Structure 1
């Protein structure tokens, strides 16, 4: 079995349900050049080193193959030619954009924004679980954890945070799906995918432009309004930067959390002893530890490939990655690296010193992590407390097409009913 064939098998849908044995094979050569000329890095220490190495760029404009396409995006003339979002830039441009976003998202300027949303998160989850009793099918209650729960919950939360009407979901979801598909390395070459990603992002930008125009200058207490206000010492984002980053946050703010919640429920059903511990509620910090272990054991983002490229030769693990090379960081492989994590293929929420790559690292550490963590903790805790005798309809379930944003497309669970939530 060659190293390049291992990577192709990881990308192949037939291995979506369990790619981890293939990741173990991939780790035998920490850095490998694959069929399309890019390099895949799969071991923990090497991934961490690259996440903190300024010679690994996130700006696609550094890739000769994409330079022409990127320059078409780089102007700021409106939603048809949006500039890159902050995750597609390097310092210092990245740092400026991230600071402006953070001013309206969390500490030190908005330390209570996420905490203030937690009671509403619980209301949403409670309402969704209450609705399960209406899904009785011929005397048996079946629920799809994806469609009935894990998808609508984070969509509602991110809409509230951004100031997007929840009823617009049917409109923006098709554009969100197009962005996700364009990030899938199995759907075409790099240039083709970049063009499709730019088009889908521009469409979302146009949606946000129309949304902001419809407000007629009226602002609320949402993140979009904060960006428009542009308070602070730094110059505010340009109109194009607001649109491109709003598009990013809308997509990233729910797609990965859907997978994290669904992967979490699937894992708990496969480990009923942990589900029982969560249900009994005797360990106040168990939900937090479960989520951290899920981010290591079944991460929603399996690898980072979009836009990562070298701006200088990088020697790592005995291999020189030449300047101008696309690089994929296999986070899911690194988080199960036995040279760093003891007994890595065991799901263990009691694991000590759980240092995982579930949210990436370096300057591009997941911006939405402070939101995804409480969302998933609340979701899994309430499912554990309230579902009576949940069991899987099929194992493995059907998975989504994307090899990088990996999670079940449906997760059918049979239950004996729902326990009322205490008043």
Structure 2
């Protein structure tokens, strides 16, 4: 389904039934209304109450151990919709276009949405859900092939995130040899001092400032510097490759509006140009290998053989982009959340080790990747009594799964002390985030250092301006006022 078709689908009159009256269902209904749908809207759920959208009062607040800052009482969400609550949907009749209910009743629909976050993890692990762009194209959908995964229109083969096993597994194992266990088990942990030095240097440059843009001056240059060093890409070439990365990332958004064909063409051209740039670096490494991942991708081999030159280029494009884009958002979302929860920021300042649990809760509460839009059913799949036909395009809303009240207690509360933290912030299954250990460590070091060195940080605007991208969520700028940026310990 193209973006134009999707918007036309939203705005058509008729009857839309949403199966799943949790927060995921409520937000789907809100989106439909916001996008202009004016027809009949019905939400069906087995819970007897409407969902609330608020951070509830916690025990810590009630006992006076935590600040009630930005805490709201429960409130009913007003939306023009019919609620069928306290009765489960047991299936549907595609011929009659009816949802069957447990009480024997039926609700007619013209279009049907299944909004259930609790099933997202199961679908991420389900081998009947394909990530292969060829299956998406065969199903008659726009494969979005110009995104990070790539496509044949660019002259590069798809990277492993757009492939299914066993080919996915072969390429991922080869890419992982210089990056993590079992062949390089200490690669990420050994970077702690280097990462801390990069963070310290960026903040040294801000000493004397009373207002900073966290994105432009910290959250972006930090992971870019890291991935450039890992891959062996010259850091001074950042302005050059950023001009290609931006349209590639924009091409990931399935709902960006505008001229879809032109946006797709720009993304394909940018991926080709980035591939050609990296090809020059790969040729250098063939002649003169160095201690970097590009050299190891070119020269490495094992039980899976070795990558072809085109596979190296496709993998390098993926790692360069994914190696910094998601981390920029994670760091920025993290600082924004901490500034909205100053009691947690104070705790982190006094106990840097708290950064580990803070980052895990951030990955649940405000994940950098909101949804995975490029999946296809390769056979009929039943989800809660509803059959999704073979060839259907599926969007997996990771953010909704992270806030599903059937899975998490008080899902809209930011709680670093949460014990049950099996989130989807870095995906799950065979396509879980390749760089997850690095992203976690970068964000832990970044947030704990910011907490120590920024005196009285405060938001200059709330909410900040956000990037226009449905897949990658994060502020475009995050302007913070400070009394001062502390000098590095031992320096004055």
TM-score normalised over the length of structure 1 = 0.86
Query: Matched residue of 1:308: which SS?
Result: strand
CA contact (8 A) 1:39 1:328 kept: no
Structure (1/2) with the larger strand percentage = 2
Asked if the contact 1:154/1:375 (under 8 Å) is kept, the reply is yes
C-alpha displacement of 1:129: 0.8
What is residue 180 of structure 2 aligned with on the other side?
106
2:227 aligns to what? 158
CA distance in 1 between counterparts of 2:126 and 2:346 reads 42
Which one of 256, 259, 268 corresponds to residue 187 of structure 1?
256
**Greater Rg over alpha carbons, structure:** 2
Q: 1:212 to 1:299 in 2, by over 3 A?
A: same
Corresponding residue number in structure 2 for 1:16: none
RMSD: 3.1
Matched with 1:300 is 368
Q: Give yes or no for contact 1:82–1:243 (8 Å, CA) kept in 2.
A: yes
User: Is contact 2:230-2:292 (8 Å) kept?
Assistant: yes
Structure ranking higher in helix proportion: 1
Correspondences of 1:23-422 after superposition (within 5 Å): 42-63=115-136, 64=138, 65=140, 80-134=154-208, 136=209, 141-187=210-256, 196-215=266-285, 217-281=287-351, 284=353, 286-305=354-373, 307-422=374-489
Query: 2:286·2:298 contact (CA, 8 Å) conserved in 1?
Result: no
The 2-side partners of 1:262 and 1:10 are apart by 26
After superposing the two structures, state which structure 1 stretch, 104-113 or 192-201, moved more. Answer: 192-201
Partner SS, residue 387 of structure 2: strand
Q: Give the match's secondary structure for 1:132.
A: coil
**1:246 Cα deviation from its structure 2 partner:** 0.6
Distance 1:291 1:61, change over 3 A: same
- CA offset digits 1:14-60 (Å, max 9, x no partner): xxxxxx959x999x99999xxxx999764333111111111100001
> Counterpart of 1:309 in 2: which secondary structure?
strand
CA 1:48 to 1:194, structure 2 compared with 1: closer, same or farther past 3 Å?
farther
CA distance in 1, matches of 2:35, 2:423: 22
Asked if 2 retains the 8 angstrom alpha-carbon contact of 1:42 and 1:329, the reply is: no
- Tell me how far apart the structure 2 counterparts of residues 127 and 262 of structure 1 sit (CA, whole Å): 18
Structure 1 stretch displaced more, 60-69 or 334-343? 60-69
- Distance verdict in 2 for CA 1:233–1:218, change over 3 Å: same
Q: Deviations over 1:87-142 (max 9, x none)?
A: 000000000011001111101101121122221111110011111125x4xxxx10
Mark the runs of 5 or more structure 2 residues left unpaired by the alignment: 1-14, 19-27, 37-51, 55-76, 93-109
Q: Distance in 1 between matches of 2:151 and 2:458?
A: 50
Preserved contact between residue 187 and residue 193 of structure 1 (Cα < 8 Å): no
Give the 3-state SS of the residue equivalent to 1:106 in structure 2: coil
Cα distance in 2 for residues equivalent to 1:327 and 1:59: 13
1:237-263 deviations in Å (ceiling 9; x for gaps):
111111111101111110110000000
Matched position secondary structure for 2:287: coil
What is the aligned length? 399
- Cα shift at 1:318: 2.3
Alpha-carbon shift at residue 204 of structure 1 (Å): 1.5
Instruction: State the secondary structure of the residue aligned to 1:133.
Output: coil
Kept in 1: contact 2:256–2:468 (CA 8 A): no
Shift of the alpha carbon at 1:174? Answer: 1.4
CA distance in 1, matches of 2:162, 2:228: 23
Residue 316 (structure 1) shift = 0.6
**2:66 match:** none
**1:419, distance to aligned residue in structure 2 (A):** 2.0
Cα shift readout 1:165-204 (whole Å, capped 9, x = no counterpart) = 0001001111111111101112359887665544332222
